[in-house]
Amino acid sequence: MENIVFPQGFLWGAATAAFQVEGATGVDGRTDSIWDAFCRVPGKVVGGDTGEPGADHYRRFEQDVALMKELGLKAYRFSIAWPRVRPDGGKVNQAGLDFYRRLVDTLLAHDIVPWPTLYHWDLPQKLEEAGGWTERDTAFRFADYATATVEALGDRVGTWTTLNEPWCSAFLGYAAGIHAPGRTEPAAAAAAVHHLLLAHGLANDVIRSAAPDAKVGITLNMYPIIPVDPGNPADLDVARRLDGLQQRIFLDPLLRGEYPADILADLEPFGFGEHIVEGDLGVISAPMDMLGVNYYTEHYVSSSPNGSEAAPSPWIGVQHASFPRRDAPRTDMDWEVRPDGLTAVLLRLHHDYPRIPLYITENGAAFRDDFSGSGAIDDVDRTGYIASHLRAAHTAIRAGVDLRGYFCWSLLDNFEWAEGYAKRFGIVHVDYATQIRTPKMSARWFSRVARDNALVAVS
């Protein structure tokens, strides 16, 4: 393998999310999130599984942090559960805050950088019953939650992420109905987009006030949107619309202080502009210190319906679009393995938007684990996936992209949203019955990469 060395100080870590790994959903004052409620709806989650007990990280975090240290990880990206800190969106719950104090202190004691995300999709169910992200007030309740959290942890946490993948929260949760809260209301999804971005801006201001030296950012899931036929105006228009809903509707207000004019027009039938109040875009576009990028695959799109009459339901206002299959390796999620798309995403941000430090905050793959006769887990496909994407990231760095870190998704096998526990992304295997953790081959290999700050041969 060629010698691929990453820049000095490059940050190597792994990531999880509260609802996916913590378990203990009814412990120490935590109340229901929208995902607790969604998991109870028959047919919404594979196997009807819930986040309890899952990987039981709430009770086993010390063991897990020790494992991170053993693997040589330098940072841990985790999310804080809103319904633990302010149950039902109400008053502060000290027991919930104390858990995250203990987690942060344990990470620091092991020389691991805590990298918390304030929102990874677990809106308190009581707030959803009051309208959820369709209501402007939810953004202000998020600011209250951010205030309590940052005041408790801001003296020990140097980097904060406000939201994880607001596209999923808005479009999968409110338009497609395949994520919590399970609504299929296009106008609600349009409202949720703006209110999530407003929540980010308000939280950014809260963090600046409570922890002036902290760095603040947001994490977006990004994918190249590639037309099947670049010479076909209809394919180009489908790609424009999907790119606008997936990427530009978030990037442009955050980094340019404005929504894309074409997407404003596309969403006019859904009342999107009615939610934008004077001054909002100034709040949303307040300077950030970094942008997190979650990358898994590409979208290859056509204007041909291919037997369907409409685009998949998340893409509101888009008719006659399809996602043709190509001859490519696929993960257990049936996602194409396309590492070059990561290079393309990073270069687009570098060339098309104001410069901002970038971090890959999620990248990884679900594959079926292969247990050898010795009990080792030889996850060759997962290891190869990560290696190929690290090469793609390094290509972007060589081209001038200011990429400063990489977080593997995920540290632990976990609850994979609508897929329940049927899919495994972890570099560490979790036996959910016994709670035994077993580092896979990918974990041992990634450990060497982190220690060497360089890509090493897969063996």
Catalytically active residues, by annotation: 165, 362
Kindly write down the DSSP assignment for every residue of 98-133, as one continuous string: HHHHHHHHHHHHTT-EEEEEEESS--BHHHHHTTGG
The two three-digit tokens of residue 85, written as one number: 């800190």
Q: CA-CA distance, 97 to 108, in Å (whole number)? A: 17
Q: CA-CA distance, 18 to 14, in Å (whole number)? A: 14
CA angle centred on 292, ends 395 and 69, rounded to 5°: 85
Cβ pair 100, 149 in contact under 8 A? yes
Residue bearing tokens 């299929």: 184
Residue bearing tokens 């040589």: 72
Cβ pair 49, 15 in contact under 8 A? no
Cβ pair 454, 3 in contact under 8 A? yes
Burial 289-310 (b: 16+ CB within 10 A, else e): ebbbbbbbbbbbbbbbeeeeee
The two three-digit tokens of residue 317, written as one number: 């206002």
Question: Radius of gyration of the chain from Cα atoms?
Answer: 21
Q: CA-CA distance, 201 to 249, in Å (whole number)? A: 15
Q: CA-CA distance, 176 to 189, in Å (whole number)? A: 9
